[in-house]
Amino acid sequence: MAATISKTDTITYREALHIALTEELERDPDVFLMGEDIGRYHGTFKVTAGLIEKFGERRVIDTPIVEPGFTGIAIGAAMVGLRPIVEMMTMSFSILALDQIINHAAKIHYMTDGQAKVPLVVRGPGGAAKQLSAQHTHCLEGWYAHCPGLKVVAPATVADAYGMLKTAIRDDNPVIFTENPGLYGIKGEIPNEADFTVPFGKAQILKEGKDVSLVGYSRMTLVNMEAAEKLADMGIDAEVVDVRSLAPLDSTTIYNSVKKTHRAVVVYEDWKFGGFGGELAARISEDCFDDLDAPVTRVGGLNVPTPYARVLELECIPDADAVVEAVKKLN
């Protein structure tokens, strides 16, 4: 699969994750994988395809359907020096392991006065795929970013998926690494460098503009890019800010963009009410108040359990047209 693909090839987001996992398993014997169906079944989204054949059952571990149990085992393994990577079949299932993640992984370093570390990665698909219904389409990155002690990242591009996963695996802190299912098939390139990584806490500008800042992360970054193209046809020059790292958060790049454009629309797939986009909007409003020519606007998911019916599901998820309409309403 992806491990045989050259870094000079155009690859998918899924393949970039696969290559990153392969390289880190080869680089560090303390790295191992745990999760449901990640071995013989190769994972629900096939990110771990072929890894059990290459590295064996001691380093690619198929677990029972007990998220609190195998997450707790991974935390213990991390505390004694290993570097576990836990794949959640969907990040919605990480809700079952919230006590382990929030009350233990996030707090152990603090509560032991720095004597213990938890170099743990919890990764998996977060957000809407296609008709996975209400229990499998949660965007939980805002929940985790709310908790001190966790690092939370949501890469939107192929290169970032590759580089940020490698950064996560090497980090001595617990990292929540969320992958929107809608990104697995997108294509791009990864740098042909021996040890390429992408640092946390650094947003990026994917498109320069002067009229409005479109701020988002994960798949909504691509939605913002599409919206920017539509706005260009209307004579509106939008700048696209890819947050990519929620915790730590790079406020400076966001603020500099808003100070240039004087308008901001924050776009996120999570439920609009109480979602992480509200934090971004509040920070912009507080710290860039004198630079704003219009109120900060949010475009978020509808506050309903995601329906199974495709036509209704699409109504719940922000798209480029919704972003365009929000921009048009700015004074």
**Active site members:** 67, 136
Report helix, strand or coil for 316. Answer: helix
Q: Is 149 helix (H, G, I), strand (E, B) or coil?
A: coil
Cα-based distances in Å from 48 to 36, 289, 298: 11, 46, 36
Residue 1, token pair as written in the block: 């699969």
| Max CA distance (Å), the chain | 60
DSSP string, 83-107: EEEEEPSSGGGGGGGHIIIIIIITT
Cα 9–chain centre separation? 24
**256 φ, ψ (degrees, to nearest 5):** -60, -35
252: its two tokens: 């400076």
Dist. CA 86–CA 315, nearest whole Å: 32
DSSP 306: P
In 170-192, which positions are buried (b, 16+ CB within 10 angstroms) versus exposed (e)? Answer: bbebbbbbbbbbbbbebebebee
**Phi and psi at residue 262, in whole multiples of 5°?**
70, 10
